[in-house]
Amino acid sequence: ARDLIDRGVTSPGRLACIGGSNGGLLVGNMLTREGARLFGAVVCQVPLLDMQRYHKLLAGASWMAEYGDPDDAEEWKFVRTFSPYHRLHDECLREGSDWRCPQVLFTTSTKDDRVHPGHARKMVRRLLDDVPADKAPKVLYWENIEGGHGGAADNKQRAYMWALTYSFLWQ
Protein backbone atom coordinates (compact mmCIF):
# COMPACT_ATOMS: atom_id res chain seq x y z
CA ALA A 1 0.00 0.00 0.00
CA ARG A 2 2.74 2.43 0.95
CA ASP A 3 4.63 1.71 -2.29
CA LEU A 4 1.51 2.38 -4.39
CA ILE A 5 1.04 5.70 -2.61
CA ASP A 6 4.74 6.66 -2.77
CA ARG A 7 4.84 5.99 -6.53
CA GLY A 8 1.70 8.07 -7.12
CA VAL A 9 -0.35 5.12 -8.36
CA THR A 10 -3.08 5.93 -5.86
CA SER A 11 -3.76 7.85 -2.67
CA PRO A 12 -4.92 6.65 0.76
CA GLY A 13 -8.45 7.92 0.14
CA ARG A 14 -8.78 5.69 -2.92
CA LEU A 15 -7.14 2.59 -1.46
CA ALA A 16 -8.89 -0.17 0.49
CA CYS A 17 -7.92 -3.46 2.06
CA ILE A 18 -10.09 -6.49 2.64
CA GLY A 19 -9.50 -9.71 4.52
CA GLY A 20 -11.37 -12.45 6.28
CA SER A 21 -10.63 -14.98 9.01
CA ASN A 22 -6.86 -14.92 9.55
CA GLY A 23 -6.86 -12.21 6.87
CA GLY A 24 -9.31 -10.36 9.14
CA LEU A 25 -6.60 -10.40 11.82
CA LEU A 26 -4.18 -8.95 9.25
CA VAL A 27 -6.69 -6.28 8.19
CA GLY A 28 -7.47 -5.54 11.86
CA ASN A 29 -3.78 -4.88 12.38
CA MET A 30 -3.64 -2.63 9.31
CA LEU A 31 -6.64 -0.77 10.74
CA THR A 32 -5.00 -0.25 14.13
CA ARG A 33 -1.47 0.39 12.86
CA GLU A 34 -1.75 2.54 9.75
CA GLY A 35 -5.44 3.35 9.68
CA ALA A 36 -6.41 6.26 7.45
CA ARG A 37 -2.74 7.10 6.73
CA LEU A 38 -2.78 4.23 4.21
CA PHE A 39 -6.41 3.32 3.60
CA GLY A 40 -9.63 5.12 2.83
CA ALA A 41 -11.63 1.99 3.57
CA VAL A 42 -11.22 -1.36 5.30
CA VAL A 43 -13.43 -4.44 5.03
CA CYS A 44 -12.87 -6.91 7.86
CA GLN A 45 -14.72 -10.20 7.33
CA VAL A 46 -15.28 -12.99 9.89
CA PRO A 47 -12.24 -11.60 11.72
CA LEU A 48 -10.10 -12.82 14.56
CA LEU A 49 -9.56 -9.64 16.64
CA ASP A 50 -9.52 -10.29 20.40
CA MET A 51 -6.33 -12.28 20.82
CA GLN A 52 -6.72 -12.45 24.61
CA ARG A 53 -9.80 -14.63 24.36
CA TYR A 54 -9.53 -16.27 20.92
CA HIS A 55 -8.52 -19.62 22.42
CA LYS A 56 -11.68 -19.81 24.54
CA LEU A 57 -14.06 -19.51 21.58
CA LEU A 58 -14.96 -22.19 19.03
CA ALA A 59 -11.91 -23.54 17.18
CA GLY A 60 -9.55 -21.01 18.75
CA ALA A 61 -7.80 -23.44 21.09
CA SER A 62 -6.46 -25.30 18.04
CA TRP A 63 -4.54 -22.17 16.96
CA MET A 64 -2.50 -21.72 20.15
CA ALA A 65 0.63 -23.26 18.62
CA GLU A 66 0.39 -20.65 15.86
CA TYR A 67 -0.44 -17.53 17.87
CA GLY A 68 0.63 -18.29 21.42
CA ASP A 69 -1.07 -18.78 24.75
CA PRO A 70 -2.56 -15.53 26.03
CA ASP A 71 -3.02 -17.09 29.49
CA ASP A 72 0.78 -17.30 29.81
CA ALA A 73 1.94 -13.82 30.89
CA GLU A 74 5.14 -13.93 28.84
CA GLU A 75 3.36 -15.08 25.68
CA TRP A 76 0.51 -12.58 26.22
CA LYS A 77 3.05 -9.78 26.27
CA PHE A 78 3.86 -10.68 22.64
CA VAL A 79 0.35 -11.71 21.52
CA ARG A 80 -1.04 -8.38 22.75
CA THR A 81 1.13 -6.56 20.19
CA PHE A 82 -0.95 -8.01 17.34
CA SER A 83 -4.37 -8.04 19.01
CA PRO A 84 -6.38 -5.35 17.15
CA TYR A 85 -8.98 -5.20 19.91
CA HIS A 86 -6.29 -4.30 22.46
CA ARG A 87 -4.24 -2.12 20.12
CA LEU A 88 -7.13 0.35 19.97
CA HIS A 89 -6.53 1.32 23.59
CA ASP A 90 -2.81 0.54 23.79
CA GLU A 91 -1.75 2.46 20.69
CA CYS A 92 -4.52 4.16 18.70
CA LEU A 93 -6.13 6.01 21.59
CA ARG A 94 -3.05 6.78 23.65
CA GLU A 95 -2.41 10.46 24.29
CA GLY A 96 -0.67 12.15 21.38
CA SER A 97 -1.64 9.50 18.81
CA ASP A 98 -2.54 10.86 15.38
CA TRP A 99 -4.30 7.62 14.42
CA ARG A 100 -7.58 7.90 12.54
CA CYS A 101 -9.85 5.04 11.56
CA PRO A 102 -10.65 4.76 7.85
CA GLN A 103 -14.21 3.93 6.87
CA VAL A 104 -14.67 0.36 8.02
CA LEU A 105 -17.16 -2.43 7.40
CA PHE A 106 -17.13 -5.52 9.61
CA THR A 107 -19.01 -8.58 8.41
CA THR A 108 -19.54 -11.81 10.29
CA SER A 109 -21.87 -14.77 10.61
CA THR A 110 -23.85 -15.84 13.66
CA LYS A 111 -23.29 -19.49 12.77
CA ASP A 112 -19.55 -19.28 12.09
CA ASP A 113 -18.08 -22.45 13.60
CA ARG A 114 -14.44 -21.29 13.47
CA VAL A 115 -14.19 -17.60 14.39
CA HIS A 116 -16.79 -16.47 16.91
CA PRO A 117 -18.85 -13.46 15.76
CA GLY A 118 -18.05 -11.90 19.14
CA HIS A 119 -14.70 -10.77 17.72
CA ALA A 120 -16.37 -8.43 15.21
CA ARG A 121 -19.15 -7.44 17.64
CA LYS A 122 -16.68 -6.40 20.35
CA MET A 123 -14.44 -4.49 17.97
CA VAL A 124 -17.35 -2.53 16.51
CA ARG A 125 -18.67 -1.77 19.99
CA ARG A 126 -15.24 -0.54 21.09
CA LEU A 127 -14.87 1.63 17.99
CA LEU A 128 -18.32 3.15 18.51
CA ASP A 129 -18.05 3.61 22.29
CA ASP A 130 -14.40 4.50 22.83
CA VAL A 131 -13.21 6.26 19.69
CA PRO A 132 -14.32 9.86 19.16
CA ALA A 133 -16.58 10.22 16.11
CA ASP A 134 -14.10 12.53 14.39
CA LYS A 135 -11.45 9.76 14.59
CA ALA A 136 -13.81 7.00 13.39
CA PRO A 137 -16.39 8.68 11.13
CA LYS A 138 -17.91 5.53 9.58
CA VAL A 139 -18.03 2.18 11.36
CA LEU A 140 -20.49 -0.30 9.84
CA TYR A 141 -21.45 -3.83 10.84
CA TRP A 142 -23.34 -6.63 9.13
CA GLU A 143 -24.01 -10.05 10.63
CA ASN A 144 -25.60 -12.80 8.61
CA ILE A 145 -27.72 -14.95 10.92
CA GLU A 146 -27.12 -17.98 8.72
CA GLY A 147 -24.05 -19.04 6.81
CA GLY A 148 -20.86 -20.16 8.41
CA HIS A 149 -17.22 -19.19 8.28
CA GLY A 150 -17.62 -18.06 4.67
CA GLY A 151 -20.23 -15.55 5.85
CA ALA A 152 -23.07 -16.90 3.68
CA ALA A 153 -25.18 -20.07 3.52
CA ASP A 154 -25.93 -20.01 -0.19
CA ASN A 155 -25.24 -18.09 -3.39
CA LYS A 156 -28.05 -15.58 -2.79
CA GLN A 157 -26.59 -14.65 0.60
CA ARG A 158 -23.07 -14.61 -0.83
CA ALA A 159 -24.20 -12.24 -3.60
CA TYR A 160 -25.88 -9.99 -1.03
CA MET A 161 -22.75 -9.93 1.16
CA TRP A 162 -20.51 -9.01 -1.80
CA ALA A 163 -22.99 -6.42 -3.09
CA LEU A 164 -22.97 -4.85 0.37
CA THR A 165 -19.16 -4.95 0.43
CA TYR A 166 -18.71 -3.43 -3.02
CA SER A 167 -21.39 -0.79 -2.38
CA PHE A 168 -19.49 0.21 0.74
CA LEU A 169 -16.19 0.37 -1.15
CA TRP A 170 -17.69 2.38 -4.03
CA GLN A 171 -18.62 5.29 -1.73
Does the active-site annotation cover 55? no
- Using alpha carbons, list the distances in angstroms from residue 160 to 59, 64, 122, 134, 144: 27, 34, 24, 30, 10
Q: Which residues pair with 149 in a beta bridge?
A: none
- From the candidates 83, 89, 97, 149, which is the catalytic residue? 149
Does the active-site annotation cover 149? yes
Phi/psi of residue 139, nearest 5 degrees? -120, 115
Cα–Cα nearest to 60, from 12, 42, 69: 69
Sign of CA dihedral 162, 163, 164, 167: positive
Q: Pick left, alpha or beta for residue 125 (phi over 0 → left; psi -120 to 50 → alpha; otherwise beta).
A: alpha
86's CB contacts (< 8 A; 6+ apart) are: 50, 51, 52, 80
Catalytic residues: 21, 149
